[in-house]
Amino acid sequence: MSLLEVRDLRKSFGGVQAVQGVSLDLSAGEVLALIGPNGAGKTTTFQMLGGQIRPDAGRVRLGGRDVTHLAPRQLARLGVGRTFQIAETFTSFTALANVQMALLAHDARHWRFWRRADGYRTQDARTLLAQVDMVDQAERPCSELAYGDVKRLELALALAGEPRLLLMDEPTAGMAPAERVALMRLARDLARQRRIAVLFTEHSMDVVFGQADRIAVMVQGALLAEGAPEAIRLDARVQAAYLGVQDHGNQSLPRNADKGLRPKTPENHRTEAEPLLAVRELHAWYGAAHILHGVSLAVRPGEVVALMGRNGAGKSTTLKSLAGLLARTTGQVRFMGQEVARWPVHRIARAGLGYVPEERRIFGDLTVLQNLETGRQPPRVWPGGAPLAEWTIERLFALFPNLREMPTRLGARMSGGEQQMLTVARTLMGQPYLLLLDEPSEGVAPVIVQQMAQAVRALKAGGLGIVLSEQNLAFAEAVADRAVVIEQGRIVHEAAMAEFAGDARARQRYLGVA
């Protein structure tokens, strides 16, 4: 008998049929991957199974019991654990305190507010942190953790509830390639040991094909295929709808997949032009924690510089510092010939420096068109007087055809990949000279990653400068001119992108990628 039985599950939002007759079975100790293009209905399915959304039709049984309309708290009591696409933690609490809070909730002692909780089951909490390799981060506030570390912490929080069924929505988003595999191998081993049924969604194909016992593929709200990993790998329908041109490994773009597609920007144009951005000895702090230590780099028109490094190295902090989002920084940041290091965030943005955050931060209660309008700025000209090609709604829809199909859809009703495209498009409405892109390929389907790479190349061809923080080496290789590696807040390696990608020792040393 299956632990989880899902029969003919359906859900619509207005005229959008998000899930159309999905049926699944999952046994104790089994790991099932639910994959599909962005917008296929995977997250909606998860929300129905987790009680966040009530289905319009269908049945969900857990251990033979009908749990279709139970609330999340009731499901948690019955042994349903959950991790989310966007990690849910108490950002001001330490990692250890977060796990202690999860243990308090599991033990139904979270209402005893007159007793201190910081000593509650401390050893058990540390054991859970050790299982996800977070012991060294135990005393750090979540607000200071790299996003990949937050995702690992969220797994520990889910395990604190001793689940029978674990629902993991893109559990490895934001993590380095080796860390992705390690985390899901851990989840798989725990599933075997504790007889936990695991259902997860994921866009990293090395995780899916390497760690899942079975794979189910959703397209446009319905199941397209289900079976063993090798059968799904060879399914022509799955390749056309989801996998695209890739190698089923961690990277969403194979090496040289973009051969002949790179814009023909003359090398001397990039090397002789004045930098759009020149950074010298940049230091940054989160509170008392000194994160960046003397970062220096330059970006010229039509150049893409890839910031690379392991989780917590300082990549996102560098982008936030350049955008003016950190309260405490020192050093020189010259943008378009002006010193902007002391400028407020809005003034930097108005000067033409666009920032695309990893967290996307779209307005969920606004439509696609309304989100785009929030970023609108007037057309600009280059210092020499030549006009900067204006970004209009129509031009953005040509760059991101998926958005053209949903102009009136609310941001909250969009998939992660669709939100990623909307975030980039909204930033382009600000008519930037230079873009800061934080993990643009993270959490999106392989075919969307390929579209994103084409978009970055188009921006580069238009003369924009781009600073790209990216874990996906193949994506960075497809679009970037130079690689700048950050380690513990310091630049430790710089090279042409092709040289870095071809240097096996450097890849292994700095990224842990063979």
The answer to whether residue 232 is domain-embedded is: yes
* 379 contact partners, CB below 8 Å, separation of at least 6: 387, 388, 390, 431
Report the first-to-last Cα separation within the chain, whole angstroms.
42
Q: Examine the fold and report which residue of 243, 259, 291 is the final residue of a domain before the chain moves on.
A: 243
The answer to whether residue 39 is domain-embedded is: yes
Contact 191, 32 (CB under 8 A): no
pLDDT of residue 348: 96
pLDDT of residue 495: 96
- Location of structure tokens 């510089």: 305
Q: Examine the fold and report which residue of 209, 243, 277 is the final residue of a domain before the chain moves on.
A: 243
pLDDT of residue 499: 95
The answer to whether residue 433 is domain-embedded is: yes
The token duo for 225 is: 């295929």
Q: Is 380 exposed, middle or buried (0-12, 13-18, 19+ CB in 10 A)?
A: middle
How many domains, in total, are found in the chain?
2
239 and 306 fall within a common domain = no
Full domain range(s) for residue 400:
302-324+353-511
Cα distances from 380 to residues 107, 119, 182, 325, 433, in angstroms, run 59, 57, 47, 24, 9
CA 429 to chain centre: 22
pLDDT (tens digit per residue) in 86-103: 667 888 899 999 999 889
The answer to whether residue 294 is domain-embedded is: no
pLDDT of residue 460: 92
66 and 152 fall within a common domain = yes
Contact 24, 84 (CB under 8 A): no
pLDDT of residue 441: 82
138 and 233 fall within a common domain = yes
pLDDT of residue 23: 96
The CB-based long-range contact list for 294-297 (8 Å cut-off, 24+ gap) reads 294/331, 294/490, 295/331, 295/486, 295/489, 295/490, 295/491, 296/491, 297/467, 297/484, 297/491
pLDDT of residue 252: 43
pLDDT of residue 265: 40
pLDDT of residue 15: 76
189 and 316 fall within a common domain = no
pLDDT of residue 45: 93
CA distance 14 to 141: 40
Residue of 155, 193, 196, 192 lying closest to 172 (CA atoms):
155
The answer to whether residue 470 is domain-embedded is: yes
The answer to whether residue 346 is domain-embedded is: no
Taking 50 as the pLDDT cut, the residues of the chain under it are 114, 246-271
The answer to whether residue 119 is domain-embedded is: yes
359 and 233 fall within a common domain = no
CA distance 173 to 310: 14
pLDDT of residue 204: 83
The answer to whether residue 308 is domain-embedded is: yes
Q: What is the CATH number of the domain that holds 189?
A: 3.40.50.300
8 and 76 fall within a common domain = yes
The token duo for 342 is: 């002391």
CA distance 100 to 121: 7
The token duo for 426 is: 């909204």
Contact 195, 26 (CB under 8 A): no
409 and 486 fall within a common domain = yes
- Location of structure tokens 């020499």: 384
311 and 221 fall within a common domain = no
pLDDT of residue 248: 39
pLDDT of residue 149: 82
pLDDT (tens digit per residue) in 325-384: 998 999 999 999 999 999 999 999 999 999 999 888 899 999 999 999 999 999 999 988
373 and 238 fall within a common domain = no
Task: Estimate the crossing angle of helix 122-131 against helix 95-106, to 10 degrees.
Answer: 110
- The strand pairing partners of 169, in sequence order, are 201
Q: Examine the fold and report which residue of 228, 243, 258 is the final residue of a domain before the chain moves on.
A: 243
